[in-house]
Amino acid sequence: MFFWSIALSVITLILIFAALGIILGISLPIFFWGAPYLPTPKRTIKKAVELAGIKEGSRVADIGAGDGRFLIEAAGAGASGVGYEINPWLVLLANFNIKRVGVGDKVSVKWRSFWKADLSEYDVVFVYGITNIMNKLAKKLDAELKPGAIVIAHAFPLPSWKEQNKENPLYLYKKP
């Protein structure tokens, strides 16, 4: 009987620590870095590329690039660019996807925080952020983007910027 009560206690502790690990694994990245990985639907990506007017020669940045799907679609329209992603597994997946479809000469994803990236060279910036980063991001974009640059925000608007167009769930902004 004693053995079974010890075994049950150990199993209970393992389950508690596993649950804590899952909770922390999800919540810590949100707390420290701003957003969990939520893939943008492919139809929304297509709409974003069209809405931004991405064409041959466009330079694009994807903030929180995830699996690389925005960059792949933008490269298909003729753009080149870089995605920034802090999750190393997503960086590997994104670059694998990019090479798999044959656009590795046009786009790539870097394992780097976009907060440390210089965004001044880009014509279009795509972001699927969450509310708690959008104010700070708006300031960064305002300071770094060149006049006429386009920002496409998925689901969460840039509070201090005036939207030029909105096609749910996308917000289009143009830096004056």
**For the segment 127-140, what is each residue's pLDDT rounded down to a tens digit?**
998 888 899 999 99
pTM reported for the whole predicted model: 0.81
Residue by residue, DSSP assigns 5-42 as: HHHHHHHHHHHHHHHHHHHHHHHHHHHHHS----PPPH
**57 with 78: CB under 8 angstroms?**
yes
State the pLDDT at residue 138.
96
Q: What is the pLDDT of residues 71-99, one digit of tens each?
A: 999 999 999 999 999 989 999 999 999 99
Q: What is the pLDDT of residues 134-171, one digit of tens each?
A: 999 999 999 999 999 999 999 999 999 999 999 999 99
What's the start-to-end Cα distance of the chain, in Å?
Answer: 75
Confidence of residue 110 (pLDDT cuts 50, 70, 90): very high
CA atoms within 13 A on the CB side of 166: 9
Q: Which tops the pLDDT comparison, 131 or 20?
A: 131
How far apart, in Å, are the Cα atoms of 36 and each of 9, 30, 77, 85? 33, 6, 27, 11
